[in-house]
Structure 1
C-alpha cells in the first residue's frame, strides 16, 4: 500500500436500503452516506485515524435515524463496529435529502448540497464488468469497478473535494449483525 497524494485520503460512500430493518425498525427505502477523511497514512492501515460524517436520510423518523446512526457509527457491531473500533477518531451525524438512481451499471446519488456522485461501470478484459474481490460488504463478495463522471463533496472545508473522472465502485450490499 502506498500513501495517498498529499498524504490525505478521502472517500464518499452512499447506501440505498432496498429492504432492511434494525431490530423492529423498518429501514426499507431509506438512505445513508458516509464521508471519510484521513489526515495522513493509508486509509486501511491499522494506525490511520479517520474523521467521519454520517449523513442520514432526512425522510427517516426518530427511530429510523437512531437505528441508522447505530449501524453506520458502529454501535450495532458488524463491519462498521470493527472499523469504528480501529479507525474512527472523530464523527458527527447530519441529515439531508437523498436522490438515488441505478440502472444496471449506471448510478447516481445526490445528498442535499453535500454529495453529488454519478458514474458508470467499467468493463475490462473480455468485455466483462470489472470486479474487486473479496469485498466484505457486498452480497456476492465482489465490488464492481466503474468510473465517476461526477464525484464532489462540499460539506465544509475539511470535507470538500472533487474527484470526478476517477475510480468508482458499486455493488449490492448485504449487512448483517448476528
Structure 2
C-alpha cells in the first residue's frame, strides 16, 4: 500500500536541447525528439517508515516527435536505483519514481510513461567550484558547468516542476553520455542542463 513520502536534496539533468531547453515553455525539443538524463541526491527522505536519506536515484527518458509535455507524447524511461539501497528502500524508490505513490511522478506516469525499466547502479552526485558531476556506473556520465550571466549571477528559468520553488539554475553539459541499450544510448554534451535543490512529496 502506498505510503506518505517526502524527499529533498540536489537534482541535475542534461538533455539534447540547446541552452536553455524549451520544453518548459511547451515548445518542441531540438530535433523534435528528447533524450534526457536526470539524477537526484536525496539528503533527507522518508517513505512511510522507510528512511531514504543518503540514497541516489537516476533516470533516463526519451520521447519521439512532439512537445514533450503534450498529453499525446509518450515517454520511454529507465529508472536507476542506488545499488546500496536495501530491498525496502528500492521498493520505496520504485513506488515514488514510477508514480505508484502519488505526487508529481504519478502525474507524469499517468500522462506520459509508456514503458519503464528498472535497474540498479552505483550512483553519485558531487558539486564543487561551479561544476556538477553525476554518474551511474557505466550507464550515465554527466559533467555540468554553471552558466553565469549579467553580474556573474547564474541564470535561472521557471517554471520547472521538479525544482525547489520551480526555479532551477541553468548550466551547460561538458559530458552527457548514456550507454544502457540501443534505445538508450546518446552523447549530447555541449547542450542544456538544469540543476537545483528539490523538495518533493505526495501530500
TM band (smaller chain): over 0.9
Are 1:101 and 2:118 counterparts?
Answer: no
Are 1:39 and 2:71 counterparts?
Answer: no
After TM superposition, give the deviation of residue 167 of structure 1 in Å: 1.2
d(CA) in 1 for partners of 2:47, 2:156: 29
| Other-structure match for 1:153 | 178
Are 1:75 and 2:127 counterparts?
Answer: no
Give the 3-state SS of the residue equivalent to 2:201 in structure 1: coil
Cα distance per residue 1:139-178 (max 9 Å; x no partner) = 2321000011100100001000001111111000111111
Q: How many residues align?
A: 178
Q: 1:116/1:92 Cα in 2 relative to 1: closer, same or farther (>3 Å)?
A: same
| Other-structure match for 1:64 | 89
After TM superposition, give the deviation of residue 126 of structure 1 in Å: 2.9
| Other-structure match for 1:117 | 142
Give the 3-state SS of the residue equivalent to 1:17 in structure 2: strand
- What is the TM-score when the length of structure 2 is the normalising length? 0.83
| Other-structure match for 2:160 | 135
d(CA) in 2 for partners of 1:174, 1:84: 19
- Asked if structure 2 preserves the Cα contact closer than 8 Å seen for 1:9 and 1:42, the reply is no
Gapped regions of structure 2 (runs ≥ 5): 1-25
Gapped regions of structure 1 (runs ≥ 5): none
- Asked if structure 1 preserves the Cα contact closer than 8 Å seen for 2:143 and 2:173, the reply is yes
Cα distance per residue 1:13-65 (max 9 Å; x no partner) = 00010111111100111011110011221211121000010000000000000
Larger RCO of the pair (alpha carbons < 8 Å, separation 6+): 2
